């Protein structure tokens, strides 16, 4: 039995990095809430159910404020607490600035940044009462150094970094930590769509000369959730792409 069983919500956990994060927390014996826009496979639920915690699925769009609230409410109702919130759901709608439509810009900001705002606001209400909790937001190196063709995505991820630091200051007095993870390029469906030429160029920017694995990001999320004296930080998992001072 796990000594300190927690309830962990991972948005966008049907695949990729979110799926790996959910698995890593399940392995620790915690209760897991899976979320995605499309139904979660029975296979994934079974896989996580082999550990000590329970698994709940909550399907819906986190850029819908009503759904985001419902996700948090249903979790609280089912498990009685919300200990870790991982804001992982995210999209890219890449285009060069002059070709970028307002819709592409808005969609990216709505899901990546406003989705994070909705779930964080709803969850922090409970965490403040509990006087404990950990919020982990998925940013990106692109939010730190920019990337041609990703002005919308970079803006959303830079926004997440500012949001993380501000909320960290607000929630710190109640012992709640808020941190961001900034992955570089990690193997997932999101990066699979990049063509070989783009991948080759990316590789030249990574000192460790390889893409990251979702499990490596997941390890960092579990680590941050356990740290009570780290808040308002951005942890880069990027093979050395961005070396912060
Ligand atoms: P992915 O496209 O493989 O998975 C994204 C997940 O988010 C899916 O489960 C999808 O269903 C879910 N999702 C998307 N929109 C949603 C919405 N509106 N509501 C609920 N769920 C939604 O992406 P990934 O590569 O696993 O990326 C996960 C996170 O990590 C994202 O925030 C992404 O921006 C960030 N990130 C990824 C990389 C990378 O190289 N893969 C690099 C930096 C940051």
> Tell me, what's the pLDDT at 200?
87
**Residue 153 is among the residues annotated as catalytic for this protein:** yes
Average pLDDT over residues 121-148: 98
Give the closest residue (by CA) to ligand 1 atom 35: 138
Say if domain 7-233 classifies as CATH 3.40.50.150.
no
Domain ranges in the chain are 7-233
pTM: 0.98
Mean predicted confidence (pLDDT) in 24-45: 98
pLDDT, tens digit, for every residue of 66-99? 999 999 999 999 999 999 999 999 999 999 999 9
Helix, strand, coil shares of the chain, percent, nearest 5, are 50, 15, 35
pLDDT, tens only, 100-125: 999 999 999 999 999 999 999 999 99
Residue 118 CA to chain centroid, in angstroms? 13
Q: What is the pLDDT of residue 197?
A: 86
Q: What is the mean pLDDT of residues 197-206?
A: 90
CA of 218 to the centre of ligand 1 (A): 13
Cα–ligand 1 centroid distance for 111 (angstroms) = 10
Q: For residue 1, is pLDDT > 70?
A: no
* pLDDT for the residue 210: 94
Q: For the residues of 148-190, what is the DSSP string, one character each?
A: TTBHHHHHHHHHHHHHHHHHHHHHGGGTEEEEEEEE-SBSSHH
């Amino acid at each position: 039995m796990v000594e300190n069983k927690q309830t962990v919500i991972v948005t966008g956990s049907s695949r990729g990095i979110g799926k790996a994060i959910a698995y890593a927390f399940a392995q620790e014996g915690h209760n897991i809430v899976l979320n995605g826009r499309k139904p979660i496979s029975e296979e994934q639920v079974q896989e996580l159910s082999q550990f000590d915690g329970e698994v709940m699925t909550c399907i819906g769009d986190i850029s819908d404020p009503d759904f985001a609230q419902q996700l948090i409410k249903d979790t609280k109702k089912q498990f009685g607490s919300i200990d870790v919130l991982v804001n992982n759901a995210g999209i890219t709608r890449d285009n060069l600035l002059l070709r970028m439509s307002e819709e592409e810009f808005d969609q990216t900001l709505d899901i990546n940044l406003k989705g994070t705002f909705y779930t964080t606001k709803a969850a922090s209400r409970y965490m403040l009462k509990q006087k404990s909790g950990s919020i982990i937001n998925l940013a990106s190196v692109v939010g730190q150094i920019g990337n041609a063709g990703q002005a919308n995505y970079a803006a959303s991820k830079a926004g997440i970094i500012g949001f993380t630091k501000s909320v960290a200051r607000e929630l710190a007095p109640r012992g709640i930590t808020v941190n961001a993870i900034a992955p570089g390029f990690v193997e997932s469906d999101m990066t699979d769509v990049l063509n070989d030429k783009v991948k080759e160029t990316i590789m030249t920017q990574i000192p460790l000369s390889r893409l990251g694995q979702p499990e490596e990001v997941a390890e960092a999320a579990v680590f941050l959730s356990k740290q009570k004296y780290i808040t308002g930080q951005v942890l880069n998992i990027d093979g050395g792409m961005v070396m912060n001072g």
